[in-house]
Structure 1
């Protein structure tokens, strides 16, 4: 399957979802370059690491200028600490927006000439937080909502030369999942809220990214692909006192 033999850059590709994406592309035979501020604790097979802070616009431009070729850019770098809005000044929240929204724009602009020549592809890594309330991570949710809209506009402006799509990712089990959901019991409890009964693995996100960058998705641009296991079971189903198996037809809104 494509993108066999292509050059792929994955930002924030040293661990978690990013590592899963990088590994998935490497398994197709692609030449994969991962970039982050710090190298991976364990080197990823068949990938090359280059240090880069995606918030440093000058460094980003130099990074892409020095690349001889680029076929796929995966804007994965991002994240945010738990921070209720009223517990921090706006400047602290702005840093979250810089990393999760401005940095993908910066890297995409820096990569544009390469991608136009190769008729390449950009995959934005979005989040379900961009389409639902995100208490404790409001700036992150706002950034991911903006990222999805940015990708749609970018797809129209840069067509037909560059395809741009977004993976809207739900909960993923990574080496840091316990910080968000607790240990095994907590992860199991959270998994039961997902229709498919488990959290995603980084490889699930990687497989979806490979698809969007492949010839199989040649007519897909400006799209948002949900990778969330069916989303979240609606709370009203558990709160309702009626027996759902015998529920009669009524006014359901």
Structure 2
């Protein structure tokens, strides 16, 4: 059933969102979401709260997370859905992933200081709900509050992308590890917002080929950063590689996100939705 208001990609204060899991659940339910997942970056600490909040609003729930991986010198995000959050491989893998973020953040702050922006590390910490998960988004919010930029998109363009003063490269998990952590925990690995990565056609083909070889089973087709034309493109990719299709807003904040929870187009009817494959994992 592709005509389902499922939102299987969003973030809370447990990573780099601005709302609590409970507030996100309330917002999703108010917007007509029927099946929801909280997918905080490299973290599953909000899952029990999210599942309980979903139930209180009459929504179905799938466990979720979003893992950063390094592939072809790019950062790629892999969403995990429907896993057992108590699985040791997954819990320990995500813990290792979070360990390198503080050092990266301090190096980012050093780079911004050289560009004349001081106190960025301390400023970013004011926006951090989980100190293990300080990220570029927290720095962006500080630079907006400080009046350096008018919005977070401007911050990323001027300071936090490759070649800019606050950008620091980081080696994330290998693609194989992220996919296997999810699948060994009984879940489905999904390539998040594939149009965002700027891959050449050959690089993108290699990503999907390797992803599927490691046990990956899904791709986000309808997501907040895809155009209508990209829905078609990645629907075709899903069919080509025999992958299930997912739908998620990637919502972070009422002030910052282009697409609200539950506000996306429906999946094209000829695709296989991830929730059909994960029917026995829905809570």
Common topology (TM > 0.5): no
| TM-score range normalised by the length of the shorter chain | 0.3 to 0.5
TM-score by length of 2: 0.31
Q: Report 1 or 2 for greater relative contact order, CA contacts < 8 Å, sequence distance ≥ 6.
A: 2
TM-score by length of 1: 0.34
